[in-house]
Structure 1
Amino acid sequence: MLKYYKGSFLFTAICLGLAGWLGWETTGTVGGTLGILWIVAVLGVLEVSLSFDNAVVNATVLRDMDEVWRRRFLTWGILIAVFGMRIIFPLAIVAIAAKMGPIDAVILAASDPARYEEIITGAHIGISGFGGAFLAMVGLTFFLDEDKDVHWIGMIERPFSDLSKISGLAIGLVLLALYLLSRSLSPSDAMTFITSGIFGLLIYIAVQSVGALLEQEGEEGVGDAVTGTVVKSGLASFLYLEVLDASFSFDGVIGAFALSNNLFIIALGLGIGAMFVRSMTIMLVEKGTLAEYRFLEHGAFYAIIALAAIMLMSVQFHIPETITGLIGAALIGISLYASLLHKRQEQAAEAAAPGDTSNHN
C-alpha cells in the first residue's frame, strides 16, 4: 500500500504545513489555525469521496494504456489536475463572482483576506445556485439510469431507475428546487439564484456533451489500424483521460465553496484529494480490486446529492462546514462497510454451495 500512497502522504504533509502557516498568519490563534487545518483535511477527504467515480473511469482506461503513457498521465496529468482544475478554475469562479480580473483576485486574497471574504460572501447566492444545480445533476443522473442494475438501497434506487424513462426529469427536478427556494428570497437575489442555477445546468450539459462526443469518436476509431485513431492508445488516451478528469473535478471544485471561500484553502484541500485519487487509480489498475467494493460508487453519489442539497439550502440556512464534510465521509464509510459485508456474504454462499468445486477468481 505504501508504494501507491507515499507520494500522496508527502504531498499532504506539505499542504498541511502550508495550511498551518496560512492559518497562523491569517488568524494568529491556535484555534483558528486548527480550524483551517480541519477544513483542508475535510476538503481532501471530500474530494476523494466525490471523485471515486473519476478513479473508476481512469482505472478502466489505464488498464489498456501502455506503461509510457501511463507514467505521463500520472506526472503531467497530476500537474493539470492539481494546478489547473483545482487552482485556476476556482480562481476563475472567484474572479467572475467578484467581478474582477484573476490577478486582482489573487492579490486581494493575499493582501486583504477580510475584504476578499466580504466580496465572496456577497456572491454566495450565485455560487450556491450554480454549484448546487451542477452537483444535483451529477447525483441525479447516476440514479436516474434505466441500465443501472446494481442497487445499494433498493427501496430508493429502484424507483428512481424506473423513473429514468421520463425524459428530462433530472433537469425538471433541479429547476423546481431552484424555483421553490427562490420564493423566499428578494426579487434581485431570486433572479441571481435562478440564473446561476441555470448556468450550472448548462455547464453540466456541456460537459456531458463533450464526453459523449469523445466516447463516440473513440468507439468509431477502435480497431482502425490504417488511420491510427484508436482512442485507447498513446496520446489519444491521455487527452481522453484529461477531459474526463476535468469533467469529474467540477463537483469537487464547486462543492468546495460549501466549506470555504478562501482560494488558497480550497487549492490545498482539493490538491490533497487529487493526489490520493491518482494513487487510488493506479492501485485499482495494478491490484485489480475495483470490483470488490460493490457500493462505494453509490456512497459517493449519495454524498454528491447531500452536498448539492446543502449548497442550495444554504441561501436560507447556515449549515456548519464540519457537518457538510462529515456527511460525505460518513456515506462513503457506510458504503465501504456494505461492500465488504456483501463480499463476505457472497463468499459464504459460495462455500456453502454443495458440490461446487470450481475455482472462483
Structure 2
Amino acid sequence: MIGKGAEKSTLSYLKWAFIFTGVGLVLGAWLGWQTTGTLSGMATVFFICAVLAVLEISLSFDNAIVNANKLKDMTPVWQHRFLTWGIVIAVFGMRIVFPLLIVVIAAGIGPFEALLLAAREPAEYARIMHEAHLPIAAFGGTFLMMVGLTYFFNHEKDVHWIVFIEKHMARSATVKGIEIAFVLILILVFSNLLEGEAADTFVYSAIYGLLTFLAVEVIGGLLDASQRAMSEAAKGGLGAFIYLEVLDASFSFDGVIGAFALTQNLFVIAIGLGIGAMYVRSMTIMLVDKGTLAEYRYLEHGAFYAILILSVIMYCQTLVHIPEVITGLGGAGLIGISLWSSIRYNRREQQAEALAERG
C-alpha cells in the first residue's frame, strides 16, 4: 500500500494539492500582471487559472478512479514511480510538451519556434491547436472507448450496476474481439457523417488510437509477464506504468483542447491544468490508501461509464461543439450516482445482516 489510509484525514491527502494551488494561482496572477500591467488583467488571468483547475478536476474524477484501480495492484516501488515521475509527465508532458508537439507537427516548425509562437502570437498558436482537434478527438476518443468497453466486455465480471446492460455485455465477451468490432462500426458511422479530407483524417486517427490501445495492452502484458517470471512480487510494474501514462494522456486531450476556449496563453493553461492534475494525484492516493473502490461497490462502474460517455462526446465534437462544462458535469454526475447507489447497497446489506442476527 502507499500509506496508512485509516490514520490520515481527507484533508491531509490534499495538502500538496493545496500548496500547489496557492503557488499556481500566485504565479497566474503574476503572469497576468506581467502581460497586461493592470489589476483587472491580473484578476482575469487568476480567475481563468482557477476555472481551468476546476474544469480539469471535474473531467478527471474518472481518471483518478481508474488510476487507483490499476495502482492498487502495483508494487510499492512502481506506485511511488507513477506518483512521482508520472505526475511530472502528466503536468509538464501533457500540459506543456503535448500542445507544443501538436503545433510542431501541424505547422512544420521546431520546438523552440513553437514556444516562441505560443509566447508572441497566442492567437495563431490557438488556431493551429483548434485545427488539430479532429485527429486528437478521434485518436483519444477511440483509446478511451476501448478502455471503457474492455472493462464491461469481460466474462469474468460478476458485479453489475446497471444489470440489464452489463450482464449482456459480460456474456457477449465470450465472442473474441467484440469490443473491437463495436468500435470499428462506430468509426465507420462517424466517418460517413464527415466529408472529404475530414473523413479520411478521422478514420486514420481513430485506427491509430485503436492500434495504440492494443499495442499498450500487448507490451504491458509482455513486460509484466517477464517481470513476474523474475519475481512474483514484481507484478504490476512497467507495463501498468505505461498503460496509466497513455491513459492519462488520453484523458488530457479533451482538457487541453478545451482550455483554449478560455485562454490562448499556453502558460496560463499549463498552470490551471497543472493544478487540476495535482488534485487527481491526491485523489488517486486517497482512493488506494482508504480502499474506497472496495468499500463503494459501484464507484468503479460509474467511472468507466463516464469514460464511455467522454469517448462518445469526443467523437461528437468532430461534428459539433460541445461545451466542456457538459463533459465535466456529465462525468462527475455519473460518478456521483454510482457513489449514491453504492451507499444504498451498503445500507441494505447492513440491514440484512442486522435482521439475520436478530432472527
TM-score category by the smaller chain? 0.7 to 0.9
The CA distance in 2 between the partners of 1:119 and 1:59, in whole Å, is 39
Normalization by structure 2: what TM-score?
0.83
Shift of 1:90: 4.5
Q: 1:40 to 1:286 in 2, by over 3 A?
A: closer
1:259 maps to: 258
Deviation per residue, 1:295-347 (Å, 9 max, x gap): 11111111111111111111221111211111111111111212222122212
Tell me what 1:135 maps to: 144
Query: Which residue of structure 1 lines up, in the alignment, with residue 87 of structure 2?
Result: 78
Written as runs of structure 1 = structure 2, the 5 A alignment for 1:321-336 is 321-336=324-339
The letter of the residue matching 1:180 is: V
The alpha-carbon deviation at position 114 of structure 1 amounts to: 0.7
Partner of 2:5: none
> Shift of residue 197 of structure 1?
1.0
Find the partner of 2:58 among 28, 32, 45: 45
Deviates more, 1:192-201 or 1:270-279: 270-279
CA separation of 1:246/1:331 partners in 2, compared to 1, >3 Å: closer, same or farther? same
Q: 1:99 to 1:302 in 2, by over 3 A?
A: farther
Q: Deviations over 1:165-224 (max 9, x none)?
A: 22222222222222222223221111111111111111111111121112322332335x
Mapped partners of 1:79, 1:54: distance in 2? 15
CA RMSD of aligned residues (A): 3.0
Separation in structure 1 between the aligned mates of residue 211 and residue 204 of structure 2, nearest angstrom:
11
Pick from 104, 122, 129 the counterpart of residue 120 of structure 1: 129
Deviation per CA, 1:18-43: give whole Å up to 9, x if none. Answer: 45566785894967864553233111
Counterpart residue number, 2:244: 245
Shift of residue 107 of structure 1?
Answer: 2.1
Summarize deviations over 1:221-257 as a string: whole Å, max 9, x none: 335xxxxxx415xxx94x4553343133133122324
Aligned residues: 342
Structure 1: any 5+ residue segments left out of the alignment?
224-229, 357-361
Do the aligned partners of 1:129 and 1:193 also contact (CA within 8 Å) in 2?
yes
Please list, as runs of the form range in 1=range in 2, the aligned pairs for 1:84-123 lying within 5 A after superposition. 84-123=93-132
Per the alignment, residue 355 of structure 2 pairs with 352
Change (3 A) 1:194 1:72: closer
CA contact (8 A) 2:65 2:300 kept: yes
Q: 1:197 aligns with which of 198, 201, 206?
A: 206
Structure 2 regions of 5+ residues with no counterpart?
Answer: 1-9
Q: How does 1:218-237 map to 2 (within 5 A)?
A: 218-223=227-232, 230-231=233-234, 237=237
Mapped partners of 2:201, 2:209: distance in 1: 12
Q: What corresponds to 2:6 in structure 1?
A: none
Deviations 1:138-174 (A, max 9, x none): 1111111111111111122111112212222222222
Give the SS at the match of 2:259: coil
2:322 counterpart residue number: 319
2:278 aligned partner: 275
Equivalent residues in 2 for 1:24-63 (5 A)? 25=35, 28=41, 34=47, 37-62=50-75
Out of 281, 289, 309, which is 2:312 matched to? 309
Q: Residue by residue, what CA displacement relative to the aligned partner does 1:111-162 show, whole Å, maximum 9, x if unpaired?
A: 2111111112222222221122122111111111111111111122111112
